[in-house]
Amino acid sequence: MLNVNVLAQGQPFCQVGRLSVSPDNRLAAFAVDFTGRRKYNLRFKDLATDKWLDDQVENVDGGCVWANDSKTVFFTRKDPHTLRAYLIVRHELGTSPEQDVNVFEETDEEFSCGVRESRSRELIFIQSRQTLSTEVRYLSADDPHGEFKVFSFRQPNHEYSIDHLGGRFYIRSNDHAKNFRLLTAEMGNHGRDQWNEVIPHREDVYFQGFTLFDDYLVLSERKNGLVQLRVRTNQGDRDFYMPFEEPAYVVSTAATPNPNTSRLRYVYTSLTTPNSTFEFDMKSGTKSQLKQEKVLGGFDPKNYRTERVWTTVRDGVEVPVSIVYHKDTKIDGTAPCLEYGYGSYGASMDPRFSSANLSLLNRGFVYAIAHIRGGQEMGRQWYENGKLFNKKNTFNDFIDVGNFLIEKKYANPKQLYCRGGSAGGLLIGAVINQEPELYHGAIADVPFVDVVTTMLDDTIPLTTFEYDEWGNPNEKPYFDYMLSYSPYDQVTSANYPNLLVTTGLHDSQVQYWEPAKWVAKLRVMKQGDNLLLLKTNMKAGHGGASGRFDRFQEEATRYAFLLKLAGIEE
C-alpha cells in the first residue's frame, strides 16, 4: 500500500502516522510527518489504481476516521503554536480543504481531543480529555453530516472511555472506582443512572482496558505489576485468565478486526522473548504462534536470565524491579549495571524485549527496570503517589532501587549507570542532583528539566493540560514544590556523573532549549573532569531519528558512551 522508503527519499525525516482504510477497502489514508514535530499531512491513495488522490490536508494529529460512505473523513487539527489537539474537522474527498467543516472545537485549554471509530464500526467517537477528566461524543458512521451527541458530560475527577458493539455501550470508568470498573448502557438510554456494572472495582487490580467480541469480552488487568488477560463469555458461563509463565513479561491484545470470532490475537514479549504475535482460541483454549521478531547474531533466549524482585524503599513501600543479564554474568558485585526508569503520567514501564540491549548484556551488563511510583504498574494509587506534591517519591524510589542493586550485588558500586527520557529525563536530572556520586554515568534523553519556567509559559506546547500532573506554578505552593526538585533550578557545584544528554531540534514535547540550557549551566557549575556531552539531532524531534538504521546509530552512540565508561573496548 505504501513504500515508506520511497516516500522518505530526499527528506531528512519521515514518519507515517496511522493507516486508515476506507470501509469499501478501496482507499487508504496516511498521515505523514516530514519534520519530527508531530504535525502530519494527510494524504490518500487509491489502492485499486495505486495512484495518489489530489486531496491533501495539512497540520493533522496523526490520522483520520472514515465515515461509512467511504468519502468522508474526520481528523484532528493542532493549534499551530501550542500544538494542542483542539479541533475536529470533516473533509469530503474531491473538495478543497477550504470547504472543510469544523464539527467540534475544544475550547478548554487544559483539554485535548481526538477522533476514533467504535468496535462495531457503527459509531464515530470524539474524545476530549485532560489528566483527570473525560468527555466523549458519538455520531452514527452512516450519518457523517449529523450532529455529535455527548455520551456523558465532563466532570472533575471522572475519567471514562467507551466502546460499542451489539447495540450496547461498554464503559470503563473510575466513578467510585479508583482502579476503574466496567459498566454497560443501552443505546439511547445511557444516562449515568442507567449504567449497569459488569466488572466491579477491586483494590488490588488495576483494570486498564477491554476488547469486545460478539460472544466474548477480553479484559486487560494489572496485578502485582504484571498484565493479565482475562477472558469472559458474554453469557457469563466461563471466566478465566490466560496463563503466562515468565516472572516478568508484558502482553497486550492485538488488532483482531472481526468481532465475530472466537480467536484473539495478542502480542507477548519479555526481557528474554522477542515480540511475538499469538492467536488464542477462546473456545478451545488452544494457541498458536503466528510471528516472532527475528533477532540476528545467533540469539538464543536460553543464554539470558530474567528476574522479578522487590525492594523496600525509604518510606516502607515495596517497589518491583525487572532484571535481565547474560547467564555467564556473575551476580557478585562486579558487573556494570544500567538502571532505567520513567515514573510519570501513569505510564507503566513494562519489561519488553530489546534487541539493542543485547549489545550490553553480551558484554556483561546487568539491565534493570525500576517500576517506580508515578507509573501505574501497581494500580492507580501508584500513579497518584508519584505526582503533584508526591513527585519526590519517584526520585527517592529510583535512588533506593539503585542502592538495592548495589547491595544485592547486581551492580558494581563503581559502575552503576542510569537512563531515562522525556519525563524520565527529569527523573535523571533530579536523581543526579540528589545523589551526584551514586552513578558513574547517566543518559538523559530529550529531558524535561526546566520544569518551573516551562510550566509558567502557557504558549509552549503541552503546558496547559499538564497542570494536573505537575501542578500550576502560578499557585505558590506548587511553584515552591516544583522549584525544589526542578533539575535546572537545583544544579549545584557538585561532582556530577559522566552525562550524555540528547535532544532534537524539532522536538514538540520538550523544546530543544531545555536540555541545552541545562547542559550550559552544568558546564559552569559542576566540579571534576567527568564527561558532559550534548547531542542534538538537527533533523528530528522527540522520538529521535526516523529511519531504521539511523535509529540504531543513535542507540549505538548511547551504548558507546556506556561501554567507554565501563572500560569495555570490544
Distances (CA, A) of 168 to 152, 160, 238, 378, 514: 15, 16, 21, 31, 47
Give me the pLDDT at residue 120, please.
Answer: 96
- 249 is written with which cell numbers? 513479561
Annotated catalytic residue: which of 20, 507, 508, 546? 507
CB 369 within 8 A of CB 325: no
Q: Does residue 388 contact residue 330 with C-beta atoms inside 8 Å?
A: no
**Alpha helices per DSSP H over 363-422:** 380-384, 392-407
Q: How does pLDDT run along the chain (570 residues), one tens digit per residue? A: 888 888 888 888 888 888 899 999 999 999 998 888 788 889 999 999 999 999 988 888 878 999 999 999 999 998 888 888 999 999 999 999 899 999 999 999 889 999 999 999 999 999 999 888 999 999 999 999 999 999 999 999 999 999 999 999 999 999 999 999 999 999 888 989 999 999 999 999 999 999 999 999 999 999 988 999 999 999 888 999 999 989 999 999 998 889 999 999 999 999 999 999 999 999 999 999 999 999 998 999 999 999 999 999 999 999 999 999 999 999 999 999 999 999 999 999 999 999 999 999 999 999 999 999 999 999 999 999 999 999 999 999 999 999 999 999 999 999 999 999 999 999 999 999 999 999 999 999 999 999 999 899 887 766 777 888 999 999 999 999 999 999 999 999 999 999 999 998 877 778 888 999 999 999 999 999 999 999 998 777 777 666 666 778 888 999 999 999 999 988
- Least Cα distance to 91 among 113, 105, 75, 79 occurs for 75
pLDDT given at position 420: 96
Q: Which fold has domain 303-566?
A: Rossmann fold (3.40.50)
Residue 227 has which C-alpha cell? Answer: 498484565
Residue 336 CA to residue 430 CA, distance in Å, equals 22
Give the gyration radius of the chain's Cα atoms: 24
Query: What is the secondary structure of 407-452 as a DSSP string?
Result: HTTSS-TTSEEEEEETHHHHHHHHHHHH-TTT-SEEEEES----HH
| Catalytic residue flag (residue 542) | yes
CB 238 within 8 Å of CB 230: no
326 is an active site residue: no
Is 507 designated active site?
yes
Q: Give the active site residue among 422, 486, 508, 546.
A: 422
Task: Tell me the domain boundaries of the chain.
Answer: 303-566
User: What pLDDT score was predicted for residue 462?
Assistant: 65
**Helix (H, G, I), strand (E, B), or coil: what is residue 78?**
strand
Neighbours of 560 (CB within 10 A): 13
Task: Specify the pLDDT at position 545.
Answer: 63
Q: Which of 127, 119, 163, 126 is nearest to 144 (CA)?
A: 126
Positive/negative CA dihedral, 471, 386, 541, 505: positive
**Which grid coordinates are listed for 503?**
535532544
Annotate 508-530 with three-state secondary structure: CCCCCHHHHHHHHHHHHHCCCCC
Which of helix, strand or coil describes residue 2? coil
